[in-house]
Amino acid sequence: MQIPRECMALWREAMGSECDALLACLEEAPPVSIRLHPQKGRVLPEYPILVSWCPTGRYLSERPSFTLDPHFHAGAYYVQEASSMFLAQLAPLFREQGVKRVLDVCAAPGGKAGLLAEMLPQDGILVANEVIRSRVGVLCENMAKWGYAHVAITNNDPKDFARMSHYFDAILVDAPCSGEGMFRKEPQAIQEWSPEAVQLCAQRQRRIVADVWEALRPGGYLIYSSCTFNRLENEENVAWMCSRLGASVRPVPIDSDWGIVEQEGCYRFLPHRVQGEGFFFALLQKNGEEPLSRHKPPGAKKAMPLNRQLAPSNWVQEYYSLFAKNELVKALPSALASEMLELEIFLRVVQSGVAVARLKGKDWIPEADLALSQVMRPDAFPAVELDLTTARRYLAREALVIKDAPLGYLLIQYQGSRLGFAKNIGSRINNLYPKSGRIRMDFPNLILPKHSLNLLVIGGLG
Ligand code: SAM
């Protein structure tokens, strides 16, 4: 791998004698890892190799075709680089400190946002934001697969959050960066690298943190991470946050066996020391006294849920209320609904809660997101188990033939993983899988690679 000379100089400054071992390791294939959904992941087989710093992280021995695996579409797991799962180490801190309002300001495609959603208590709210409009769609898709209703997805510039003074208990800035830690996984990042790009990234990272700083309450946590090695975008930025914005670096518990390098109170993941890509992580705490009253956006007004007599009400669990926007009905946790709807006063909310149903003529049609969520009542629809080939055909939106299926809406499952809905109208079965998410592979003719036993099960290729 040809690393630019100026880049090597920055790496030597950041990592000294570690650089030679790092360079040798960059010639090797990157590890493949997934993060299991805490509830839905239970349908999957046991994976023997665990990611040390994330209880739901697992390594695979090779890369299967995830697109062909119905469990992937059901959100039973998310394909995520192992180092970046380190965020899971903050779960005990979140619990102890009562962290309930969290902003992920650079959220697409949503790997860390999914993890944050899991880490929050039932009365927590996650705002997952992505400034680049074209990247919001994939964030919405991934968060829908993860299925939590206490999440709002926004499309705002970081400076828009200044309006929400002291609202958040924690903010994650997983910064856009020069990507040096991803060179082996994404070699085009080497072509895009230049000393000027590093300078620009470092300035942009400071601007993002400064923009959201007002929205973080005193005593709240700023989590800063990047996937690059140079000091300008990492330790130097952290030092700037401490001195200019008023923050202190806080320790994160690590085990010495994990191979993570602690440097100036921050954490470096070096691919020759850990089974993962290059990653930088720092936990900071905003200086100042914690305010007495928290999480009260101004002008709180009570949201009016839909009548519980309405058909889709029978499809959702007690804990949720339904709200309508045009023909779409969504579910929000009842206790959080007013506050979540109020976010729309401050932010461009693209999606919040879980989409439950759409009104078409006089009919309520269940939304696929409902099937993927924790919101749905388990007995709301008769479930139909499909075999692997039929499940793939369903995901490709092909016509279905299911013997002895009851009439009406059907919950479509594969090995217990919920995929979406279909409707048996007697003469045929309508496939209701959304067009946007459908598999576009010509899978019947695909030559499938040989996989290990685990991959055979997860890929369902047997
Ligand atoms: N947190 C994501 C995850 O775990 O899946 C990955 C985030 S990626 C490292 C950085 C994100 O920052 C990208 O989605 C990018 O679109 C966004 N971004 C780019 N420029 C930005 C800016 N000026 N302000 C805020 N976010 C920006």
pLDDT score, position 457: 31
Q: Residue 352 class from Cβ within 10 Å (0-12 exposed, 13-18 middle, 19+ buried)? A: buried
pLDDT score, position 307: 77
Six-digit token pair at 187? 């070699």
Atom of ligand 1 nearest to the CA of 132: 16
Cα of 175 from ligand 1 centre, angstroms: 6
Give the residue, by CA position, lying nearest to ligand 1 atom 9. Answer: 176
pLDDT score, position 455: 35
Residue type, 120: L
pLDDT score, position 367: 97
pLDDT score, position 305: 83
Q: How far apart are CA 324 and CA 51, in angstroms?
A: 41
% of the chain exceeding 90 in pLDDT: 85
Q: How far apart are CA 402 and CA 414, in angstroms?
A: 13
pLDDT confidence band for 448 (50 / 70 / 90): very low
Segment 341-395, tens digit of pLDDT:
999 999 999 999 999 999 999 899 999 999 999 999 999 999 999 999 999 999 9
Checking if the pLDDT of 453 tops 80, the result is no
Checking if the pLDDT of 407 tops 90, the result is yes
Q: Where are the beta strands (DSSP E) in 75-167?
A: 77-79, 101-104, 125-129, 151-154
* Residue 106 CB less than 6 A away from ligand 1: yes
Mean pLDDT of the chain: 92
- Dihedral (CA of 404, 364, 134, 182) sign: negative
Which of 117, 135, 107 is CA-nearest to residue 75?
Answer: 117
Pocket perturbation via mutation, ligand 1, pick of 106, 145, 227 by most ligand atoms within 8 A of CB: 106
CB 268 within 8 A of CB 261: yes
pLDDT confidence band for 439 (50 / 70 / 90): confident
pLDDT score, position 130: 98
* Residue 208 CB less than 6 A away from ligand 1: yes
Segment 223-240, tens digit of pLDDT:
999 999 999 999 999 999
Checking if the pLDDT of 420 tops 80, the result is yes
* Residue 108 CB less than 6 A away from ligand 1: yes
CB 432 within 8 A of CB 424: no
Check if 227 is active-site: yes
Helix (H) or strand (E) holding 371: helix 368-372
CB 424 within 8 A of CB 402: yes
Cα of 383 from ligand 1 centre, angstroms: 38
Residue type, 329: V
- Continuous H helices in 178-293: 188-192, 195-213, 235-240
* Residue 132 CB less than 6 A away from ligand 1: yes
pLDDT confidence band for 296 (50 / 70 / 90): low
Six-digit token pair at 340? 């979540």
Question: Active-site residue among 54, 140, 177, 227?
Answer: 227
Flag the least confident range among 165-179, 306-320, 414-428.
306-320
Q: How far lies 138's CA from each of 14, 129, 396, in Å?
A: 34, 12, 18
- pTM given for the model: 0.94
Cα of 157 from ligand 1 centre, angstroms: 11
Six-digit token pair at 316? 């959702």
Q: How far is CA 360 from the centre of its chain?
A: 31
